[in-house]
């Protein structure tokens, strides 16, 4: 089967008081059925904007989003609305994503009502199934969000996303607001749901170790651009981009002999202003391996292995030398 989600040269920009801000700058991605793509990047690199564009919360300025082959940009409003159930979202803050005045049952029933499940008994049955699926006890149905624990709230958020049988769920940092013990619980739930329903995830996170847990493929994002995409194992064994390497090395490891701070190649400083991104390779201001060409020419995303692409001049050079 073909891809459930295809993004081509997507640009998302905002007009702000400080000027034009391009949060997502020409990104192409695809998502196969039942696959999990991890999207990793620092705060402010545009990963949430990408997620919001996919669920039609922000209007892209250019490029296309195809959902199961239907291009959103060429569709009418009614058709786009009809495609909304295909892509759902799990939010970062489980408390903020639930209306404080609505009971769990109402929260889960609303999407069913909106999309034409008229029969009240059928809705109740579906709500019960959903709650069971995410491990919430049936008697919780009349509870208000503040009467749940953080993990339960996030499970309710997941159940709501599942209500419409989506083919893609955009998970925007779904565990970063939770305790570590709950993170594993929610991640396992997401994986279990995926096995049962063949749903695909775009899993947005700033935490590589969380993505390591759940993603089949990983895309690394820096200042609105994808710098590297690779299957999980390839990314961990042979990270090709200096930025990816720095992210991996920044993770705490339990091998004191090999990984000391002094040995690490750390990317210092802050993210440059996205209002005025650096010319050439966007990382060159912070990259320890940057050379003259990096400041002038922007590297293109190029394939270097099976499903592994990277945007870095170092690899251009390596490929050129080998050839």
Partner 1 sequence: MTFETLSARFAPARAVRRPRRVRTSSFSYRFWRSRTALIGTAGLLLVVLGAIFAGRIFEADPLDMVARPFIWPFTDAAHPLGTDMLGRDILTGLVHAGRVSLAVGFSAAALAVMLGVVFGAVSGYFGGWADQILTRVTEVFQTMPPLVFAVVVVAILTPSVGSIVLGIAVTSWPQIARLVRAETLRLRDAEYVQAARVMGMGHTRIILTHILPNAISPVVVAGSILVASAILTEAALSFLGLGDPNLISWGSMIGAGREVLRTAWYMTALPGLAISFTVMALNLLGNGLNDVLNPRVSLS
Residue 82 or 318 with smaller CB distance to partner 1: 82
84 binding partner 1? (CB under 8 A): yes
Q: Identify whether the C-beta of residue 201 lies closer than 8 Å to the C-beta of residue 279.
A: no
Q: Identify whether the C-beta of residue 228 lies closer than 8 Å to the C-beta of residue 244.
A: yes
Member of 20, 114, 165, 297 binding partner 1 (CB under 8 A): 114
Judged by CB under 8 A, the number of residues near partner 1 is: 30
In the complex, minimum distance from the CB of residue 21 to partner 1, in angstroms, rounded to a whole number? 17
Member of 44, 85, 135, 278 binding partner 1 (CB under 8 A): 85
42 binding partner 1? (CB under 8 A): no
Which secondary structure element, helix H or strand E, spans residue 205, and what is its range?
strand 200-205
Which 135-174 positions form the footprint of partner 1 (CB under 8 A)?
Answer: 144, 146, 157, 160, 163-164
In the complex, minimum distance from the CB of residue 36 to partner 1, in angstroms, rounded to a whole number? 19
93 binding partner 1? (CB under 8 A): yes
Number of residues in the chain: 323
Q: Identify whether the C-beta of residue 64 lies closer than 8 Å to the C-beta of residue 10.
A: yes
Q: Identify whether the C-beta of residue 275 lies closer than 8 Å to the C-beta of residue 21.
A: yes
In the complex, minimum distance from the CB of residue 15 to partner 1, in angstroms, rounded to a whole number? 12
Residue 62 or 144 with smaller CB distance to partner 1: 144
DSSP at 286: T
243 binding partner 1? (CB under 8 A): no
- Which residue carries 């292995």 as its tokens? 305
110 binding partner 1? (CB under 8 A): yes
Gap between the Cα atoms of 179 and 176, Å rounded: 8
Residue 116 or 269 with smaller CB distance to partner 1: 116
- β-pairing verdict for 19-31 and 36-40: unpaired
Of 92, 56, 49, 90, nearest to 72 by C-alpha is 56
User: Which strands sit side by side in the sheet containing 217-222, from one edge to the other?
Assistant: 87-90, 168-172, 200-205, 36-40, 217-222, 225-231, 308-310, 302-305
In the complex, minimum distance from the CB of residue 224 to partner 1, in angstroms, rounded to a whole number? 21
Member of 7, 31, 40, 98 binding partner 1 (CB under 8 A): 98
Binding segment for partner 1 (CB under 8 A), chosen from 50-58, 275-283, 290-298, 306-314, is 50-58
Gap between the Cα atoms of 221 and 265, Å rounded: 19
DSSP at 299: P
56 binding partner 1? (CB under 8 A): yes
In the complex, minimum distance from the CB of residue 92 to partner 1, in angstroms, rounded to a whole number? 8
Member of 18, 20, 81, 264 binding partner 1 (CB under 8 A): 81
99 binding partner 1? (CB under 8 A): yes
User: Exposure of 269 by Cβ count < 10 A (0-12 exposed, 13-18 middle, 19+ buried)?
Assistant: exposed
Tokens of 314: 């170092």
308 binding partner 1? (CB under 8 A): no
116 binding partner 1? (CB under 8 A): no
92 binding partner 1? (CB under 8 A): yes
91 binding partner 1? (CB under 8 A): yes
- Which residue carries 């050079």 as its tokens? 317
Q: Which residues bind partner 1 (CB under 8 A)?
A: 52, 55-57, 81-82, 84-85, 87-89, 91-93, 96-101, 110-111, 114-115, 144, 146, 157, 160, 163-164
């Amino acid at each position: 089967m073909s891809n459930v989600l295809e993004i081509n040269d997507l640009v998302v920009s905002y007009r702000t008081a400080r000027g034009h801000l391009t949060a997502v700058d020409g990104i192409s991605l695809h998502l196969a059925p039942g696959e999990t793509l991890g999207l990793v990047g620092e705060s402010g690199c545009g990963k949430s904007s990408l997620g919001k564009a996919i669920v039609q919360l922000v209007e892209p300025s250019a490029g296309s989003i195809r959902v199961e082959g239907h291009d959103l940009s060429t569709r009418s409003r009614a058709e786009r609305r009809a495609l909304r159930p295909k892509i759902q979202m799990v939010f970062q803050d489980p408390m903020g994503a639930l209306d404080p005045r609505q009971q769990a049952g109402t929260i889960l029933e609303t999407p069913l009502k909106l999309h034409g499940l008229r029969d009240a008994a059928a809705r109740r049955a579906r709500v019960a199934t959903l709650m069971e699926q995410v491990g919430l006890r049936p008697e919780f149905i009349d509870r208000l969000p503040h009467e749940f624990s953080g993990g339960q709230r996030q499970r309710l958020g997941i159940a709501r996303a599942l209500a419409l049988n989506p083919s893609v769920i955009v998970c925007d940092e779904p565990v970063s607001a939770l305790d570590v013990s709950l993170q594993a619980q929610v991640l396992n739930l997401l994986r279990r749901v995926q096995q049962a329903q063949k749903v695909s995830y775009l899993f947005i996170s700033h935490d590589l170790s969380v993505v390591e847990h759940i993603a089949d493929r990983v895309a690394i994002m820096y200042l609105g651009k994808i710098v590297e995409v690779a299957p999980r194992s390839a990314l961990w064994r042979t990270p090709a981009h200096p930025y990816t390497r720095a992210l991996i090395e920044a993770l705490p490891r339990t091998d004191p002999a090999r990984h000391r701070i002094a040995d690490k190649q750390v990317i210092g400083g802050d993210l440059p202003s996205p209002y005025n991104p650096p010319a050439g390779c966007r990382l060159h201001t912070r990259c320890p391996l940057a050379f003259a060409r990096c400041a002038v020419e922007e590297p293109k995303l190029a394939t270097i292995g099976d499903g592994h692409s990277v945007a870095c001049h170092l690899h251009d050079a390596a490929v050129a030398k080998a050839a």
